[in-house]
Amino acid sequence: MSAAAKAKRSCPEATIVVIEQGQDVAYGACGLPYYVGGYNNDMELMRIRGVKDFRRSGIDVRLGQEALAVDPTSKTLIISSADGRYEESYDKLLIATGAGAVIPAVEGVRAAGVFVLKTLVDGASLKAAVDQETVRNVVIVGGGYIGIEVAEAMVAKGKNVAVVEAADRILSGFDAEITAIATQELQQHGVQIFTDESLKKILTRDGQACAVETTRGVYPADAVVLALGVRPRTQFLVESGISLTDNGAIVIDRQMRTNVPDVYAAGDCATVYHELLTRQVYIPLGTNANKQGRLAGENICGADREMPGVLGTASVKIMDLEAVRTGLTEQEAGRNGLAVRTVFVEAPSHAPYYPNPAPIHIKLVYDKDTQILLGAQLIGRQGAVLRGHVLAACIHARMTLSQIGWLDFSYAPPFAMPWDAVHVAANAAK
């Protein structure tokens, strides 16, 4: 919808049609765990802009319709609607079908009491279930961002919570030093963490989920949340000639163009340009999707703007902690053959002579020879995420540790020390 809105502003004379399979557009899905957890009980707050608003601006939004196939030769789509199938022609086409929740092919995943959390409908269903006092035990399969956010939501609802993760640790987008702190925080709030365990089946009683069986054990479950990641929703493009990656993501260039003339793609169904790796990668994040949508809307109308690039910057709340990552982790640098060094430090959030200082743990990843910052990860009770934003800017600017160590930050006892936590980490590294 960001592309549709930008295109309408860029070329108001154009006829812009949006085909949407569901009944909702332009909503903040990242707010769903907090809606389910009762931090916000008004779903309308997640709706960014309504269908009526888009239609009033001249955009033809068609709900409950699904694109079944694309024919680039004739420049047509086959669309399914309540009234049957029909063809729609295009001059320019944007594919922004996003990604769907991964649902494994194991016994019991379609039983009552098994949920995913991707859409507003998903959120309403899960909230209705966990609001019932009879739902006591909740098992979350998957320890990524969504899984951990749902775990916190379930703790807030007073549930017994278990997280099952197939990898050797949760939050694998961070390095081990950070995930160890996150794991301890969850456990201190009563969340059971089971790693190195894969889902075998979901056990049922009278059609209702009652337990989760893994490769290592069986855990009682009145509700099961599958948080196993996402997969691009591009199955309808397999025979279109549009290039896809191994996981089904649409391959695009920095102008959002596919390999097929006049066909663009953006968001979680597509790749995105990583400025450090200097190539297209798959990083499904709302920040990337919004930027890509805006660029696509401009370029469809004749502009030739490039995506500057992303760093995979992402943050997550873990009970009373906040964590952020930007750039490359040590693992990612190693997989890409980069010679790096790292430093891991603890520094105070603010001066000890102001109440409630808290430690911030910072890991920096930097080029072995040039000492240019390539990645940063932070976790702490306060001030970690916004400092991560600072370090993201430093990576964009290709700054060295020495330059970062001399940045002119403010100092006041409620906010920082004379040498801020960012200074401490940079100076420890250099």
> The tokens 């290592």 sit on which residue?
216
The DSSP H or E segment spanning 232 is strand 230-232
Query: Measured between alpha carbons, how far is 65 from 86 in angstroms, rounded to an integer?
Result: 10
Question: Which listed residue (30, 210, 269, 301) is catalytic?
Answer: 30
CA distance to 68, 150, 344, per residue, from 7 (Å): 24, 36, 45
Query: Measured between alpha carbons, how far is 107 from 275 in angstroms, rounded to an integer?
Result: 42
HEC secondary structure over the chain = CHHHHHHHHHCCCCCEEEEECCCCCCECHHHHHHHHCCCCCCHHHHECCCHHHHHHCCEEEEECCEEEEEECCCCEEEEEECCEEEEEECCCEEECCCEEECCCCCCCCCCECEECCCCHHHHHHHHHHHCCCCCCEEEEECCCHHHHHHHHHHHHCCCEEEEECCCCCCCCCCCHHHHHHHHHHHHHCCCEEECCCCEEEEEEECCEEEEEEECCCEEECCEEEECCCEEECCHHHCCCCCCECCCCCECCCCCCECCCCCEEECCCCECEEECCCCEEECCCCHHHHHHHHHHHHHHHCCCCCCCCCECCCEEEEECCEEEEEEECCHHHHHHCCCCEEEEEEEEECCCCCCCCCCEEEEEEEEECCCCEEEEEEEEECCCHHHHHHHHHHHHHCCCEHHHHHCCCCCCCCCCCCCCCHHHHHHHHHC
> The tokens 């201190």 sit on which residue?
188
Q: Is residue 414 within 8 Å of 350, Cβ to Cβ?
A: yes
Q: Is 11 noted as a catalytic residue in this protein?
A: no
**Residue 303 is encoded by which pair of tokens?**
């502009």
Which residues are known catalytic residues? Answer: 30
